[in-house]
C-alpha cells in the first residue's frame, strides 16, 4: 500500500521541520501539510484545516487516502493558561477527531506529541520516571495526560497504532516557538546573534529538560519506523535530550559572544516551570527502540549560532 502522510499543525515550530523531513523521506507527493492558514513560500501539498472540524478533516483523509497522521496542532502551556477552557476544547476536540477519523478510515499509524507538562508536583523531579502519578498543573498538561490515556484506549479497544513522545522543550533555528514555557531557550539565541541583551522570564537556576530540534525530529521518525512489537508504551514515551538552567545556557552562549548580557524577570511562566521535571528518565525509549540523543548543550549552541547568523546575514543583504 502507498504511504500517504497528513501533518496537522504543519507550520508550527515542530511541524515546519518535521514536514520537510517527511517530504525528503517519502517524496513531495506523499506528504500533505495542513494548518489553520496557508504560507506563501511553502513547497508541497497544502490543505487549510481547522482540526476541530471533523468533516473537514475526514474530507482530507478520504481525498488523499491518508495512511499516517502526525497530529501536531495544540495550544501550548503558557498561551493555554490565558484561555483554559478554549485550550481544553481545541486540544481535546482535535485529538478526538483524529482518533475517530483514523479508526473509521483505517489509518495505519497516528503520531501524537505529548510533553513534559504531563508531570506535576507528585513526582521525582530529577530523572523523572516513565510512569509516576501524573497531576499536571496546567490545562495544557491536563489535555496531554488525557490525550495519552485516550490514545492507550484506542490502541487497546480498536487496535489503532497511536505512538507518542513526551517532548522536552524543543530548540531549533528553523522556526519560532508558539507560546510555551521553554520558549526562552530559543529566543535567547536570536538576541545573542542580533547583539542584543536578553531578559529571561524564568529564574537563573530553573533547570528544565530540553532537546535540540534534530534530535526531536529523529526521535519522532525512529519511533514511527520502529516495528510494532517493540512499542511497549502506548500512553507516551519519556524522551530526554539534555537539561540546563537559563544561567548555564547563558554561559554556553558567552563562550561565543563574551559580551552577551542577560537579566532575569520571572513572570507567570515561572510557576509552570516549577511544576515540571528537571531531568527525565527515558530508559523505556532507549530499551524499546534504541533511542539515543546526539546533541549536548555546547554542540547545540554552536549550531544554533552558526545557522542563525547565516539566516540574519541573508535577510540583511
Specify the stretch interacting with ligand AKB by CB under 6 A; choose among 110-118, 126-134, 279-287, 306-314: 110-118
Q: d(Cα 117, Cα 295) in Å, to the nearest integer?
A: 22
**Length, in residues, of the chain:** 317
Among residue numbers 79 through 118, which ones bind ligand NAD (CB under 6 A)? 90, 94, 113, 115
Dist. CA 111–CA 165, nearest whole Å: 8
Question: From residue 32 to residue 71, what is the string marking binding to ligand AKB with x (rule CB under 6 A)?
Answer: ----------------------------------------
Q: Which three cell numbers stand for residue 2?
A: 502507498
Question: Smaller CB distance to ligand NAD: residue 132 or 257?
Answer: 132
Told to check if 77 binds ligand AKB by CB under 6 A, we report yes
Please give the residue whose beta carbon sits closest to ligand AKB in the complex.
180
Contacting residues for 265 by C-beta, under 8 A, at least 6 apart = 199, 200, 201
Q: Give the start-end residues of each E strand in the chain.
A: 5-8, 31-35, 45-48, 68-71, 109-115, 161-167, 169-171, 198-200, 208-212, 237-238, 242-244, 262-264
Q: Which partner from the list ligand AKB, ligand NAD, none does 181 bind, CB cut-off 5 to 8 Å by kind?
A: ligand AKB
Say if CB 102 and CB 58 are below 8 A apart. no
CB of 128 to ligand NAD, least distance (A): 14
Least spacing, CB of residue 229 vs ligand NAD, in Å = 26
Window contacting ligand AKB (CB under 6 A); options: 42-50, 57-65, 129-137, 175-183: 175-183
Q: Are residues 112 and 236 in contact, defined by beta-carbon separation less than 8 angstroms?
A: yes
Contacts of 233 (CB under 8 A, 6+ apart): 130, 284, 285, 288
Q: Is 140 known to be catalytic?
A: yes
- Which span (99-107, 112-120, 214-222, 298-306) binds ligand AKB, by CB under 6 A? 112-120
- Give just the sign of the alpha carbon dihedral 238, 236, 146, 93: positive
Nearer to ligand AKB, 77 or 164 (CB): 77
Task: Give the Cα separation of 15 and 28 in Å (integer).
Answer: 15
One residue of 182, 235, 236, 252 binding ligand AKB per CB under 6 A: 182
Using CB under 6 A, list all residues that contact ligand AKB: 76-77, 115-117, 140, 169, 180-182
Kindly list the catalytic residues: 140
Amino acid at each position: 500500500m502507498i504511504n500517504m502522510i497528513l501533518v496537522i499543525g504543519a507550520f508550527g515550530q515542530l511541524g515546519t521541520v518535521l514536514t520537510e523531513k517527511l517530504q525528503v523521506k517519502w517524496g513531495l507527493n506523499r506528504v500533505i501539510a495542513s494548518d489553520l492558514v496557508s504560507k506563501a513560500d511553502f513547497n508541497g501539498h497544502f490543505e487549510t484545516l481547522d482540526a476541530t472540524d471533523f468533516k473537514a478533516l475526514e474530507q482530507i483523509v478520504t481525498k488523499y487516502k491518508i495512511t499516517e497522521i502526525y497530529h501536531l496542532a495544540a495550544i501550548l502551556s503558557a498561551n493555554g493558561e490565558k484561555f483554559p477552557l478554549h485550550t481544553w476544547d481545541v486540544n481535546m476536540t482535535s485529538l478526538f477527531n483524529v482518533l475517530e477519523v483514523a479508526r473509521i478510515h483505517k489509518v495505519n499509524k497516528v503520531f501524537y506529541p505529548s510533553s513534559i507538562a504531563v508531570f506535576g508536583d507528585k513526582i521525582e523531579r530529577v530523572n523523572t520516571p516513565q510512569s509516576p502519578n501524573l497531576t499536571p498543573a496546567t490545562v495544557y498538561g491536563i489535555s496531554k495526560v488525557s490525550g495519552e490515556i485516550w490514545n492507550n484506549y484506542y490502541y487497546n479497544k480498536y487496535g489503532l497504532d497511536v505512538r507518542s513522545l513526551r517532548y522536552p522543550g524543543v530548540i531549533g533555528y528553523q522556526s519560532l516557538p508558539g507560546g510555551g514555557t521553554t520558549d526562552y531557550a530559543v529566543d535567547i539565541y536570536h538576541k545573542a546573534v542580533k547583539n542584543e541583551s536578553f531578559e529571561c522570564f524564568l529564574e537563573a537556576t530553573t533547570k528544565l529538560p530540553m532537546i535540540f530540534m534534530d534530535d526531536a525530529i529523529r526521535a519522532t521518525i525512529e519511533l514511527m519506523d520502529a516495528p510494532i512489537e517493540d512499542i511497549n508504551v502506548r500512553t507516551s514515551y519519556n524522551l530526554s535530550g539534555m537539561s540546563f538552567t537559563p544561567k548555564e545556557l547563558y554561559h554556553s552562549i558567552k563562550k561565543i559572544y563574551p559580551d552577551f548580557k542577560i537579566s532575569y524577570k520571572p513572570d507567570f511562566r515561572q510557576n509552570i516551570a516549577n511544576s515540571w521535571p528537571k531531568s527525565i528518565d527515558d530508559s523505556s525509549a532507549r530499551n524499546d527502540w534504541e533511542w539515543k540523543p546526539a546533541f549536548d548543550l555546547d554542540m547545540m549552541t554552536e549550531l544554533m549560532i552558526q545557522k542563525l547568523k547565516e539566516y540574519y546575514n541573508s535577510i540583511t543583504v
